Amino acid sequence: MTEKITIAVVGSGYVGLVASVCFAEIGHRVICVDNDESKIAMLRGGEIPIFEEYLPELLERHRNTSIEFTTDLDAATQKAQAIFVAVGTPQSQTGSADLSYVDAVASQIARSITEYKVIVEKSTVPVYTNEWISRVIERNGVPRELFDVTSNPEFLREGTAVVDFLHGDRIVIGVDNERAANLLRKIYEPLTSGEYYQMADSVPGARSEADPPPLLQTSTKAAELIKHASNAFLAMKISFINVVSNICEAAGADVEEVSQGIGSDGRIGPKFLKAGIGYGGSCFPKDVAAFRYVAEQLGVDFGLLREVEKINADQKRRFFQKVRSALWTFRGKKLGILGLAFKGGTDDIRESPAIELISQFLKEGCIVSAYDPAAVERTKEVLPPSGTLSYAKDSYEAATDADALLILTDWREFTDLDLDRLRYTLRYPIVIDGRNLFDRAIMAEKGFTYLSVGRAGGVHAKDALSSRLS
């Protein structure tokens, strides 16, 4: 039987909350700490502040037994054997990661250390952060033999974060001595041994008792670089296929076919080769900028990442122009919008291309009716309802009497729309798809003028108005 470890997780955002619940799920005692009293009260009551599959069920399973929520970091530090720091590292004005929250937490942890602790970087941080945390703790009077600072980067995708944690491609631990490595190996042993997958009620996924996730042990510096390099590479892959999609449009080819051909190569793989309106979210934009800044500080010219950022911004501009070309003029036009989150499966709207595009459409004088399965309430906080912006209860209400329907987020439920109903709900059967969710031939057969990304020319209904009236 795996040894139970007492773990403190500092921060109850996407990473901290998912890590807390999943550590409890694999058999450990967890104390989740946050200085936001209202959020802690919510979690104690079983409410989930984010949209994540499996998270409500696992929280209910372990709340008040294996996991507790508190604002008392000092007490949590004293009880825990390992302290995972999962606080925010937002982008600063220079593009670097703002580590002020990490610094503050390290200082507070230091004041409560009276016996050996392993402090674990779980937040996405630049290389050398490990050394700075160690200095901060030592400056607060903690003897070096009472702590080790390690790195354990997360590779969680919003919307599938629980499955990603429990069925990961790999588990990376960055350690500089065997004492700290031994504790981290014990923490992840239920996964790496395959023991967790024997449980009847384990969360289903790709891993199994016969094929558990591998554990990769590296230096702390390598682990810090792995996270930033991984996210930067994936962002680059998205930007690459988006440029290819623009070439496809110009050449008269279909990017879906090209993507399939590229992704079938085992050296490349099919993931993150989906053309669209650009990446967003809390990780890719911030991490690309932070990794570029780190490179510059180390005297390395990483101009490739500047191009990745430029391409991502350009992709949104190109889509905006695609909509303008389809409608000729914007002022007074009603747009039905499907999708507000930066991707399907989450309610996160941070750096969402959809939010940026809606803001531009409103500035141009459009009337917008928007729908998202999960992100409406968060969007209302940054784009309140107004005379020109309303939020619909479903896709068809958003499309009602619209001059065009725009698809901005790849929610699975949008692919199940009743196209016959949708056609007669719109004022004109025009669909401009920023996520390539539909088959062009089927859309033409159903009478739509259908424009997408990287698929030349679009398909057009013979007569949009007569198509509605026929």
Residues taking part in catalysis: 283
Tokens at 330, concatenated: 């914007």
Go through the chain and tell me how many residues it has: 470
Rounded to a whole number of angstroms, the CA Rg of the chain reads 24
- Phi and psi dihedrals of 197, rounded to 5? -75, -10
**Strand spans (E) along 226-349:** 334-338
CA atoms within 13 A on the CB side of 363: 7
Give the whole-angstrom CA distance, residue 320 versus residue 106.
Answer: 44
Alpha helix segments (H runs only) across 63-177: 73-79, 100-110, 129-139, 161-166
What are the structure tokens assigned to 86, written together?
């999962």
Distance (Å) of CA 129 to CA 59, 85, 115: 31, 12, 23
Phi-psi region of 148 (alpha: psi -120 to 50; beta: other; left: phi over 0): beta
Residues in CB range of 234: below 8 A, 6 or more apart:
272, 284
Give, in order, the Cα–Cα distances in Å from 127 to each of 35, 217, 290.
26, 16, 10
CB atoms under 10 Å from CB of 424, counted, come to: 12
Q: Is 92 exposed, middle or buried (0-12, 13-18, 19+ CB in 10 A)?
A: middle
Pairing of strands 67-70, 82-85: unpaired
Find out whether 278 and 313 touch, Cβ atoms under 8 Å: yes
184's enclosing H/E stretch is helix 178-192
